[in-house]
Structure 1
Amino acid sequence: MSFALRMAAVLVAGIALAGPASAQDYGPYGVSGSTSLGSGYGFDWDGFYAGVYGGGVPFGTTSWNAGVFSGVNVAIDSAVVGVEAQLGADIDGSTSIDALVLGKGGVSLGDALIYATGGTGLISGDFGYALGGGAEYGFTDYMSVRGEVLGTGSWGSMPSDMRVTAGVAFHL
């Protein structure tokens, strides 16, 4: 199975599993019973957040990575856009640094957020890009858990690695 097909399958599975467990009428603005900005049901995705993540590359040569992230989201009705910085290390016999700046866009389904992301920076110590997506679930007023899949590669080439990570974020 090709790398792109495997990545697409993981993204589809993650999105399917991230949705709310029960049927909910979110109305025209994505918020249950609300037609005004900033009120109603669900986690408040608007504002600054920071957290930690860990995971690895599940296919081909297995490697592990871990790091920290921080960012800011702007929520407009059910749409959520933002920017995030990630700083981490790949651990695969030798340690290399990752430093990414990612744009983020998605949709809020109450306590769940489904998003796509992409950006650039250092990947395993070399300049490259990352594209992918994830799902996040707010389980308290200020904490969320997330799963993310990123395809990474060098500029001018197809993605050469796929990272699957899980993390926890603290929202201010």
Structure 2
Amino acid sequence: MKKRLGLAATSLLMLSGPALAADYSSSGFDWDGFYAGIGVSGSAWSNGETVYSVDGIAGFNVVNDGILFGAEGFFGYVVDSSSLTGTEGGVNARLGYLVSNDAVAYITGGGAYMSLPNDWHATVGAGIEFAVSENTTMDFKFEHWRGSTFTANRIDASINWYFN
């Protein structure tokens, strides 16, 4: 019985070895390079407002040994629960880990301006991005925005196209 358990454990380790040592650069989605996309978001502000936005997105990633380094900018149109409209824009850095060949989990941080509280905000968050085709991804992110007068919790979803 002990021989069978030992043989089973050894077989399992031998079969899982290649999966544990996966080379993310040679198979799966190519996360390196430029991308552009369109996103939607909703945020709850500390002043009681709810703000929705549609954004254009552009970014760049570099992957080294399963670690993703990137930067992303966005610019968009916003509307709040009082039907006021405005614009927003910002830049964030991204640091991620390829959890598989087709998915990356990341943290993000940077700065953004929104005309509806007419304020600059520090941003920090986390997200996960999944490949859905050979050059397209879906990205889901939670961010906290902190300005001089208000804070917000924001949920974003975007579709991105990679040009590599």
Instruction: Give the TM-score category using the shorter length.
Output: 0.7 to 0.9
Unaligned runs of 5+ in 1: 1-22
Measured against aligned partners, the alpha-carbon deviations of 1:75-98 in whole angstroms (never above 9, x if no partner) come to: 002100111101112211211221
Name the aligned partner's letter for residue 112 of structure 1.
A
Sequence identity (%):
27
Closer, same or farther in 2 for the Cα pair 1:100/1:25, shift >3 Å? farther
TM-score by length of 2: 0.77
Measured against aligned partners, the alpha-carbon deviations of 1:53-92 in whole angstroms (never above 9, x if no partner) come to: 0021257533211111101000002100111101112211
Partner of 2:153 in structure 1?
A: 162
Within the candidate set 133, 141, 144, 1:148 is matched to 141
Q: Equivalent residues in 2 for 1:1-172 (5 A)?
A: 26-28=19-21, 32=22, 34=23, 38-39=25-26, 41-57=27-43, 60-92=48-80, 93-109=83-99, 110-124=101-115, 125-154=118-147, 160-172=151-163
> Any runs of at least 4 consecutive aligned residues in structure 1 with deviations exceeding 4 A, and if so which?
23-26
Closer, same or farther in 2 for the Cα pair 1:55/1:91, shift >3 Å? same
C-alpha distance in 1, partners of 2:136/2:110?
24
C-alpha distance in 1, partners of 2:18/2:77?
42
Measured against aligned partners, the alpha-carbon deviations of 1:17-53 in whole angstroms (never above 9, x if no partner) come to: xxxxxx996434xxx2x3xx722x3211110000000
C-alpha distance in 2, partners of 1:120/1:101?
6
TM-score by length of 1: 0.74
C-alpha distance in 2, partners of 1:26/1:47?
25
**Native 8 Å contact 1:73 1:81 kept in 2:** yes
C-alpha distance in 1, partners of 2:50/2:87?
17
Q: RMSD value over aligned CA atoms? A: 2.3
Aligned length: 141
**Native 8 Å contact 1:51 1:70 kept in 2:** yes
C-alpha distance in 1, partners of 2:105/2:77?
25
Name the aligned partner's letter for residue 54 of structure 1.
V
Q: Report how far residue 140 of structure 1 moved.
A: 0.8
Name the aligned partner's letter for residue 142 of structure 1.
N
